[in-house]
Amino acid sequence: MAATKDPRPCSIADALALVGEKYSLLVLREVCLGNGRFDQLVRNIGAPRDILATRLRRLVDAGILTKRTYSERPQRFEYRPTQAGLELEPVLMTLMAWGDRHLRKDDDRPMVIEHICGNELIPVVTCRACGDAVRHEDLTAHPQVPGWAVTGPTAA
């Protein structure tokens, strides 16, 4: 009867349960770009329409998107990010930078993000307390739940 199957409790897993399904983060990308209409999403993402409808419902339920009417008669909608959705944008930026660096030759980046400072955005994840860029060797994990120790947080 004992639950021998529950995995490590973890906010990464919880977050992925919401936005980790296929296309979900691409929906967020398009919505952050301002392309929030159903047919735009279908075209830009390349997802089947029914799957997209399912994802949109889920993201709205989760409070990551809102569905706004921009035209009554004919009824037309637009999806937009909520505050919570916008706060996921850094994840997208970091992922994009990783993809640009590791998945592409040289400078054939399909999209460049410009920061308000005038330069191209190259996202760097830093520690809020000291401001330094986060490096694996500088981290130590402290599980808060008994029974979920880690063997060695850092392993070069």
Contact positions toward DNA, by CB under 7 A?
5, 21-23, 37-40, 47-51, 53-54, 56, 67, 73-78
Please report the sign of the dihedral spanned by the C-alpha atoms of residue 59, residue 60, residue 66, residue 68: positive
Q: How many CB atoms lie within 10 A of CB 81?
A: 20
Type of residue found at 13: A
- Contact status: 11 vs a second copy (CB under 8 A): yes
- Contact status: 138 vs a second copy (CB under 8 A): yes
Beta strands in 59-99 (DSSP E): 65-71, 76-81
Paired with 77 in beta bridges are: 69
Q: 104 touches which of a second copy, DNA, none (CB within 5 to 8 A by kind)? A: a second copy
Paired with 17 in beta bridges are: none
Binding-residue pattern over the window 95 to 134 for a second copy, x denoting contact by CB under 8 A: xxxxxxxxxx---xxxxxxxxxxxxxxxxxxxxxxxxx-x
The residues in 65-84 that bind a second copy, with binding defined as CB under 8 A, are 80-81, 84
Least Å distance, CB 101 to a second copy, is 7
Residue for token pair 């996202």:
123
Q: 102 touches which of DNA, a second copy, none (CB within 5 to 8 A by kind)? A: a second copy
Q: Which is nearer to DNA, 73 or 105 (CB)?
A: 73
Q: Which stretch binds a second copy (CB under 8 A): 44-52, 53-61, 69-77?
A: 44-52
CB contact set of 140 (below 8 Å; sequence gap of 6+): 153, 154
